[in-house]
Amino acid sequence: PGAACPPPARRVMVAARALLFWALVYSYCGVCACIAGLRLLWSIGRRPGETFRWVVRENPPACLNDPSLGTHCYVRIKDSGLRFHYVAAGERGKPLMLLLHGFPEFWYSWRHQLREFKSEYRVVALDLRGYGETDAPPHKENYKLDCLIADIKDILESLGYNKCVLIGHDWGGMIAWLVAICYPEMVTKLIVVNFPHPSVFTEYILRHPSQLIKSGYYFFFQMPWFPEFMFTLNDFKVLKSLFTSQATGIGRKGCRLTAEDIEAYLYVFSQPGALTGPINHYRTLFSCLPLQNHEIIMPTLLLWGERDAFMEVEMAEITRIYVKNHFRLTILSEASHWLQQDQPDIVNKLIWTFLKEETKRKRE
C-alpha cells in the first residue's frame, strides 16, 4: 500500500514512523533513567558511605603483561590520526586473525584465544576506539558506525594485510558483521559470538518486548554522563556483577574469572574518563540503523551461549537467512553471554573445526 501513495503522503508516513521511533527511544530512555535513579537512592539509603567510593587502580595487575598472551603494540591510523593499542601473538606473516571485543571489555577478553591460535595465525586482539589504551575522541559523533567500520579497514591495512579471519563478540560482533557487509573482500571467514546479524537485531527488538527490556542499557546509554556515573558507584559494583552475578555472569559450569581477571577490568575502566568512549559507541546507534545492505557472502560461524542474559537465542537461528554462504550455528546450553571466557576450550575447538572444515572445502 505504501508504494501506491503519492510522494507527499509517503513523506508524511516516513516522518510519522520516524517520530514514533524516536518517541519510543526517548520514552524508554526515561524509564531506564528512573529505574537507575531509584537504585541509586536505594544504595544511598543502605550504604551512604560506600555508594560514592571509587578507587582508581594505578598499577596494572600482572596478568595484563603476561608474555604468553603476546606483545603490546600500537598503530596510528593515517585518516583519523588515532592511535590504537593491540596485543599480538604468533609470527608476523602468518594469516591474520583479528579479534574485536564487546562491552564492557577490552583486548584481555580474548586471552584464551591469543594463546590458542598463535600456532597458525598472527592473532591480534584490538582495543576498540575509546577503549583501554586506544585513543578516545571526545565527541560522540566520532563513534558512529561508519567510523568504527573504517577503523577496522584501516587497521588491517596498517598491519600489512588485505584480508583476515574476523572474530567479534557482543558489540565487537556488531562491528564484525558490518565490516563483512561493507568490505567482504577483506574477510575470508567470519566468526561472531553472541550477537545476531544487525538487521535481525533491529527487526526483532521492535517486535519482542522481552528483548527490548533486555536491551534497556542501549536506551539508558543515550543520556550524557549519568550512565558513566552509575558504573562508578560502590567502586564499580555494576561492572563486577556483570561478570560474576547469578543473573548475568559466567555460570556454574563456566570458567569463572579470577580475582586478578576482575582486577584487570577494574584497572582499565576505573581510570578517569575511561567509560565515556565505550558508552559513546551506543550513543549514535539509533541514527545509524537500520542497514541498507544486508548480505554476508563469506563462510560464517555463529556461536551462542544459551544463557545469555542480554540476547535472546531465537535471534541466532533467524540470522541464517542473511548469510549467502556456508553458515554454521552452534548453541551452547550451559554458557553465558561471555562465551569465549566462559567456555574457552569448547569455543576454541569449534573455531578450529570451522577453520579447518572451510580449508578442506576449498581444496575439494
Position 251 scores a pLDDT of 83
Position 2 scores a pLDDT of 44
Position 361 scores a pLDDT of 65
Domain 62-206+285-356, classified CATH 3.40.50.1820, yes or no: yes
Position 253 scores a pLDDT of 83
* Cβ neighbours for 195, distance < 8 A, ≥ 6 positions apart: 102, 168, 169, 170, 171, 172, 173, 174, 177, 201, 311
Residues lower than pLDDT 70 in the chain:
1-6, 14-15, 17-22, 24-26, 288-293, 358-364
| C-alpha span between 98 and 191 (Å, rounded) | 10
pTM of the model: 0.90
Reference 196, options 217, 169, 165, 218; nearest CA is 169
Query: What does the DSSP 8-state code read for residue 290?
Result: S
Position 364 scores a pLDDT of 59
The residues assigned a catalytic role are 170, 282, 337
Q: pLDDT tens, 145-182?
A: 999 999 999 999 999 999 999 999 999 999 999 999 99
- Each domain of the chain, given as residue ranges in start order, spans 8-56+209-251, 62-206+285-356
